[in-house]
Amino acid sequence: MSNESHIPQPDFGPSKLGTKDYWDKVYDREVINYKDHGDIGEIWFGEDSAVKMVDWVEEHYEDHKETCSILDLGCGNGHLLLDLAELGFEDLTGIDYSPAAIQLARAVAEDKELADVIKYEAVDFLAEKETLAWCTKQASEGGNGEPKKFRVMLDKGTYDAISLHQKNKRDAAAAAAATAGTDVAAGSDEDKSKDTIVLAENDDNMEELADRYPKRVASMMHDEGRLLITSCNWTQPELIQRFSQVFEYDSHLKYPTFTFGGVKGQTISSVVFKKKQGAAA
């Protein structure tokens, strides 16, 4: 097991992009925009990263399109699963904690006549009890009552957003003020005494959300499954270290590189992980 002291910590502060309220408002606007103009909305990190992820899935699971269960974590407008459905994949599920995102994804899938192939549902997968109940519900009828485990799990930007989650009330107030274009007052002593309260979704676990992510994802994954995660906030080595307690590095996708200060790097990291034996069973 990895030494937690070696797990890299974020060098960026909390942001409104880490709040559910922000994403609810974004997708509320995009639902209206889609109805008015037919635009499904922004594709995070650009079309190239989405194409690379879809190509990777097709390359590795082309012979299992009917049976390969694929879960898009934080699906947003659902564009990754739309592309996979058009390639012939049939067991496709997208989840997002924003009901407005699910509303948009469902509308797009229906208009593309793919609603019978893709399932979109509002789920906060970082909440343990909710995740277990949802996975159990997904298991096929007549099964042994065990939760469904997915073969392929996709994440394009979701872990980035989770990493920007507000850890305490002062941070949340600052993000709200930034959204409104105002400053946060110094606050009373009583407000300051509440600074250590963690704002977590849907349960009482005080663990940091970004640290909870690997374990929750592993709990939904088949033992032989793979997680493909794309990030612009974390480098490949950082992702490998942060996920090292429950995942092992499998491979990565290649992007154009740049050199700065004699160090070669890339602006986007896409890493494929496999679950460690016995992790988050």
pTM: 0.77
In a domain, 184, yes or no: no
In a domain, 188, yes or no: no
Beta bridge pairs of residue 92: 70, 118
Number of domains in the chain: 1
pLDDT digit string, tens, across residues 64-105: 999 999 999 999 999 999 999 999 999 999 999 999 999 999
In a domain, 258, yes or no: yes
Distance CA 124, CA 121 (A): 10
Please report the DSSP string for 171-220 in residue order: HHHHHHHHHHT-PPP---HHHHTTTT----SSS---S-HHHHHHHHHHHH
Residue span of the structural domain in which 111 resides: 4-165+200-275
Please report the DSSP string for 153-165 in residue order: EEEESHHHHHHT-
CATH number of residue 77's parent domain: 3.40.50.150
SS3 72: strand
In a domain, 172, yes or no: no
Q: Tokens representing 171?
A: 């941070």
pLDDT digit string, tens, across residues 247-256: 999 999 988 6
